[in-house]
């Protein structure tokens, strides 16, 4: 007869999790036992047989916790409960891990001081929240001749954010765009968070001391307690920063130039027309016409 096809043997399913009970082969081990308070009681160094007997006596499992310790550490616990606790810890850990996004801040090689400060605050805010920042400058037409100015602007931004950021990619050209990428400095952010937490506790104590007192605080006292209204308004302004609007302002450079020309030519008069006599008004008109 013909040869039959051999049946493919499937590997046995692998059991995930640490070795437990009879699968533990160490001759002796340090044994702890879980108590209802959530803390562990030390039973000491036991032989394999003694440890298995202690687990069997309690009607739970002997689970290998630290195989590399000398001697290895095992725990007497309900394994299903241990697995549930571990899964709960992993879920909490993933929940606390923030997704790092890449935010873009667009600048111009001829950006003015105010606009630069606005974008610097935006970059600083993103970095402090754990996001990466890509700062870019796009060149139009003959602006390619100003690469050095653009590089200087991007390096200045890196220097202004160096206390909470590291430069992941130095200024480089991609087509008609020069860009730099900064990543948050994790250690610096942790230190800043600790300082912020300490400052928050101090402010809460100050606010508690403020409660129950009638009347306004003496001048200057609000600033000393960190309760300045100006600071809170600044924070709200920072939170309301619209990155798309900022970047759109850079892309629409011609509109900015028109606005600047209107600002330069639209200075208001420093006198009240109604208070001038006819002769004085004629003199003012002559002055404006002669400019």
Phi/psi of residue 157, each to 5°? Answer: -65, -40
Residue 32 CA to residue 87 CA, distance in Å, equals 21
Q: Per residue of the chain (291 residues), what is the pLDDT tens digit?
A: 455 555 666 655 555 678 889 899 999 999 999 887 777 888 899 999 999 999 999 889 999 988 888 899 999 988 888 888 888 888 887 776 667 788 999 999 999 999 999 999 999 999 988 889 999 999 998 989 999 999 999 999 999 999 989 999 999 999 999 999 999 988 877 777 777 777 777 777 777 766 655 455 555 555 555 544 444 445 545 544 566 666 766 666 544 444 444 444 444 455 555 566 656 656 665 564 545
Residue 136 CA to residue 280 CA, distance in Å, equals 53
Annotate 191-247 with three-state secondary structure.
Answer: HHHHHHHHHHHHHHHHHHHHCCCCCCCCCCHHHHCCCCHHHHHHHHHHHCCCHHHHH
Phi-psi label, residue 136: left if phi above 0, alpha if psi -120 to 50, beta otherwise: beta
Tell me, rounded to whole angstroms, the distance of Cα 210 from its chain centroid: 33
Kind and range of the H or E run holding 184? strand 177-184
- Rounded to two decimals, the pTM is 0.43
């Amino acid at each position: 007869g013909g040869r039959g096809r051999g049946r493919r043997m499937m590997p046995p399913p692998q059991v995930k999790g640490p070795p437990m009970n009879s699968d533990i082969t160490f001759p002796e081990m340090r044994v702890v036992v879980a108590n209802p308070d959530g803390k562990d009681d030390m039973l000491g160094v036991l032989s394999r047989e003694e440890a298995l007997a202690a687990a069997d006596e309690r009607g739970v499992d002997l689970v290998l916790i630290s195989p590399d310790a000398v001697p290895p550490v095992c725990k007497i616990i309900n394994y299903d409960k241990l697995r549930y606790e571990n899964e709960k810890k992993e879920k909490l850990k993933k929940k606390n891990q923030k997704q790092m996004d890449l935010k873009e801040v667009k600048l111009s090689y001829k950006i003015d001081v105010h606009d630069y400060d606005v974008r610097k605050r935006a970059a600083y805010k993103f970095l402090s929240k754990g996001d990466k920042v890509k700062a870019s400058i796009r060149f139009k037409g003959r602006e390619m001749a100003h690469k050095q100015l653009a590089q200087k602007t991007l390096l200045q931004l890196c220097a202004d954010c160096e206390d909470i950021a590291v430069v992941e990619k130095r200024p480089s050209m991609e087509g008609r765009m020069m860009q730099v990428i900064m990543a948050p400095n994790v250690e610096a952010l942790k230190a800043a968070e600790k300082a912020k937490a300490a400052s928050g506790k101090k402010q809460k104590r100050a606010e508690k001391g403020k409660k129950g007192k009638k009347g306004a605080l003496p001048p200057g006292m609000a600033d000393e307690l960190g309760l300045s209204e100006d600071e809170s308004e600044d924070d709200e302004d920072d939170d309301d920063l619209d990155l798309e609007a900022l970047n759109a302002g850079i892309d629409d450079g011609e509109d900015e130039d028109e606005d600047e020309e209107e600002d330069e030519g639209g200075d208001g008069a420093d006198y009240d027309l109604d208070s001038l006599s006819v002769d004085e008004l004629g003199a003012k008109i002559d002055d404006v016409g002669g400019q």
